[in-house]
Structure 1
Amino acid sequence: MPITRTKALLALCLACIVIVFASVPSSAQMLARPGWAGFGQKSEAWWKHSIIYEIDPHGFTPEGLHGIAQRLDYIHSLGADAILLTHIAPDATHPQSLDPAIGTLDDLDTLSREASTRNMRILLDLGTPPAGTDLNSLARLWLNRGLAGFRIADPQQADQLRKITGSYIGERIVIGDLNPAANAHQQPQLLLDSSLTKLNQLNAATLRPAIEAIQSNSSSLLLATDGPDVTRSAARFGDGQHNLDIAKVFAAILLTNRASSLLYYGQEIGLASSTPMQWGTPVSPAPAHPRRLAAPANDPISVAAQEADNSSLLNWYRQLSALHHSNQTLSSAPSIMLDHDAQNILAWVRKPEGASLRDPAVIVVCNLTAQSVHVSLKDDMQKLHLKGNFLRTILRSDSGMGPMSLDSMTIPPFAVYIGQLRY
């Protein structure tokens, strides 16, 4: 008899669990429950040293959310840990609605579910909700559908959102804007540093202090060079001749920095205008809007062309993102900027505590000129008390081979060199 009662109680408990989970959208279960593809697999929070890929569904594909779901393998190849969706509401006065031009709530659920199978989360940019918005209801609407968090501009609203997301399991996060004057009780997990989006001069004297300030900030930063409301970096820094090579420099700044990285869709192929993503493949059915026409397959600023070129900007982003996730020194070691402004060389050292032969420092060198530059880092290493006389190549953006001597390194025009200090 006791065994029978025990079985009955177990059956009742299981029934209650089924009822509870049945009341939650399947996408929320995919995010929150143990067994979700990205749940509890790492001891470190997923958003630390992350890569977040920002998408406006209106411009990424003609098919909106459905099109994003079809391109998840592409996004995953960029090393993205999460997708940040922008402009999904029909207008500012309806933040709890989904623009029918990009799809339905079912499409959003499908995207969240499919992304989770690739260890990627879905985030939502709330921008600046209009006055009178019930932020609690707004947040819970999306969190209950399985979204992993939000980006929001106002620090007080970010503080409120942090309290709401903290009541959900599944490592939900808030991204707030970097605002030194803000006194929020609970800082967002990530602070968006958009300082590089305000720069447009390609010289070391301008970039070095800006990057130094980023690297010295003790907060958990999300670094961006591009975004929906700024001129793309390819247009701001490009010279019309070496745009893709210059874009590789900014990819290195983003992905070898100590901050997390925010990539705005299209920057990985050097998109320089507000035109939609250029896939370089026929669009079927024909788009209703002429701006959504696909680029020719041979257009160098297209995914199709760059997929076929191992030395392309797209494949450089993929190489850097793999390094960003796999190299412990690049993900966590302190950064030290080197002053080679006179040569227009941007260089920095990622120096592990107790750097040694087994745990070497990593050095990044970027040539910001259209000519080859000869540079010596020997004195820099001596001042930093780092042993070594050459660099073993980890990654470089040009076709060069072999190690580099600290006494005299030759960096080709607009090239990036990344190496380990060896002796």
Structure 2
Amino acid sequence: MVSRRQFVLSSLLVAAGARAQELARAGWRGNGIAPEAWWLHASMIRCAQDVTFADAVKMLDRMSDVGADSILLPDLEPTAKQPYAERFGTEEELDALLREMSARRMHLLLHMPLQRAISNAGEVRFWMSRGVAGIDLGTLGSGDMDAVRQLRASLDHYPGHRILLARTAGQEAQAVASGSRRRGSASSDPITLHILSPQDTESGVRHTGAVNAVEIAAMPVSDEKAESAAATLPAAVPYVRSLFPLLLASGAPILDSHLLTSDLGRESVQQVLAFRNTHAVVRDGSVVVLATAQPSLRAWILRAKGARGSLLLAANDGTTPATLHLTAALASNGFRNVYLRPLMRSDHGMGAVNVEMGTLPPGAAIVAEILH
């Protein structure tokens, strides 16, 4: 039985959806979402729960600075009166956000739990008619796939590519991700982007058959004074450690909005994304996780066909200096008598690095070319 609250909300959503259809004229995402698979090359900014529609508008210039083209809003917590809580802003502010994003060819997505999306068709209709380009369903299991297929079928009635994002946990991850749905593919599981955690990416987890996105949280800089000094060097990227998953994963990045609030964070994102998009080994190479002698030292090889142009990523996640001692690990992967030429680093060091005796300060990280 439908409760009075559900009936009132459904009626309001239908009325709001009809108005949204009227507003879906040229320039609105309601009829302008690109027919191509824009999500394969998207860079998304995930907003915190306390964001407002007005805050999101102010964020657009900073997004353009780093090449991000999509905003992922939190759960907007619909009420009996309207499809979003009052604290997020007014309808006029929502309209302003949609218009400004449309003018910049950006996409708006939002979080909506699967069960609510299935049981409240009016809410989904409202946001799809307003031109929302996708829904983050949160964490799912293999038992949720029938419900997601139902939702996918509903979204397919709207023009353009409307996507579904999801993350999976534990042993179900491979089962769900292996059937992730690409537009036009024969796959039966309708998740367009499977969200990987940085921990998954850094441990070398690969979800065969999935179209992945990697989610990056904002991390504090370890030593503000040292990092500010390092930022004056050409290769200095203070936040490079927290952005390593962007270099290790091939999927679309989902970045915490707090990464864009400081100049250092914004510059770091800009440099790493540019490096990721232009360096052939990062784009097309394979990833090898290296065994290290110290638990606090993490290291990876990004390797192209053959050894030429390969990169080493190394990070000291501990509280004391770490010596690399990577000679044996590199030799086992075919790299002998080599040294490292840093391309990006978070500390103020300069010059070539010895693969055996080189050291990284606490919290420091480097991206280096492996040279003979």
Counterpart for residue 14 of structure 2: none
- Residue 84 of structure 1 is matched in structure 2 by 72
Indicate if the aligned counterparts of 2:240 and 2:345 stay in contact, CA closer than 8 A: no
Aligned to 1:73: 61
Aligned partners of 2:207 and 2:283: how far apart in 1?
15
Partner of 2:234: none
Is 1:146 equivalent to 2:146 in the alignment?
no
Is 1:410 matched up with 2:359? Answer: yes
Q: CA RMSD for the aligned pairs?
A: 3.7
- Distance in 1 of aligned mates of 2:135 and 2:75: 13
Give yes or no for the alignment of 1:174 onto 2:159.
Answer: no
Give TM-score scaled by structure 2 length. Answer: 0.72
Aligned residue identity for 2:84? L
Q: Give 1:126's aligned residue.
A: 112
Matched, 1:346 2:298: yes
Once the two structures are TM-superposed, the CA of residue 380 in structure 1 deviates from its matched residue by: 2.8
How many residues are paired up? 325
CA shift at 1:144, angstroms?
1.9
Given that 1:396 and 1:418 are in contact with CA atoms closer than 8 Å, whether structure 2 keeps it comes out as yes
Deviation at residue 233 of structure 1 after TM alignment:
6.1
Structure 1 CA distance, aligned partners of 2:117 and 2:130?
24
Do the aligned partners of residues 225 and 238 (structure 1) sit closer, same or farther apart at CA in structure 2, a change above 3 Å counting? farther
Q: 1:25 deviation in Å?
A: 0.9
Shift of 1:386: 4.7
Once the two structures are superposed, residues 129-151 of structure 1 have per-residue CA deviations (whole angstroms, 9 ceiling, x without a partner) of 4497233x433321221111111
**Secondary structure, in 3 states, of the residue corresponding to 1:152?**
strand
Q: Which residue of 2 aligns with 1:192?
A: 195
What letter is aligned with 1:260?
A
Amino acid at match of 1:113: R
- Are the aligned partners of 1:51 and 1:79 in contact in 2 as well (CA < 8 Å)? yes
Residue aligning to 1:201: none
**Paired position in structure 2 for 1:159:** 149
Alpha carbons of 1:112 and 1:322: their partners in 2 closer, same or farther (altered >3 Å)?
farther
Q: Distance in 1 between matches of 2:150 and 2:118?
A: 14
Mind listing any 5+ residue stretches in structure 1 that lack a counterpart?
A: 1-21, 197-206, 227-231, 270-302
- Cα gap change, 1:331/1:72 in structure 2, threshold over 3 Å: closer, same or farther? same
Q: CA deviation at 1:387?
A: 7.0
Match of 2:24 in 1: 25
Distance 1:326 1:366, change over 3 A: same
- Report if the CA contact (8 A) 1:388-1:421 is conserved: no
In 2: Cα distance, 1:55 partner to 1:171 partner: 22
Tell me, in whole angstroms, the C-alpha distance in 2 between the residues paired with 1:238 and 1:422. 29
| Residue 323 (1) aligns with residue 314 (2) | no
Aligned with 1:48 (options 20, 40, 43) = 40
Q: Which amino acid aligns with 2:190?
A: Q
Whether the 8 Å CA contact 1:251–1:317 is kept in 2: the answer is no
What is the alpha-carbon distance in structure 2 between the residues aligned to residue 400 and residue 192 of structure 1? Answer: 34
SS of 1:124 mapped into structure 2: strand
Cα distance in 2 for partners of 1:327, 1:166 equals 36
Q: Give the corresponding residue for 2:244.
A: 253
**Is 1:103 matched up with 2:89?**
yes
2:339 is matched with which residue?
A: 390
Separation (CA, whole Å) in 1 of partners of 2:298 and 2:41: 22
Post-superposition CA distance 1:181-231 (Å, at most 9, x none): 55782231111234x6xxxxxxxxxx6x873253465522333354xxxxx
- Using the alignment, how far apart are the partners of 1:381 and 1:31 within structure 2? 52
State whether residues 27 and 113 of structure 1, in contact with CA within 8 Å, keep that contact through their aligned partners in structure 2. no
Equivalent residue, structure 2, for 1:221: 212
Percentage identity across paired residues of the two chains:
20
Contact 2:24–2:30 (CA under 8 A) maintained in structure 1: no
Shift of 1:53: 1.1
C-alpha displacement of 1:49: 5.6
Partners of 1:28 and 1:326 in 2: how far apart?
31
C-alpha distance in 1, partners of 2:26/2:91? 11
Partner of 1:203: none
8 Å CA contact retained: 1:374, 1:408: yes
Q: Structure 1 240/418 Cα, relative in aligned 2: closer, same or farther at 3 Å?
A: closer
Matches of residues 288-307 of structure 1 in structure 2 within 5 Å?
Answer: 303=261, 306-307=262-263
Do the aligned residues in 2 keep the contact of 1:31 with 1:39 (CA within 8 Å)?
A: no
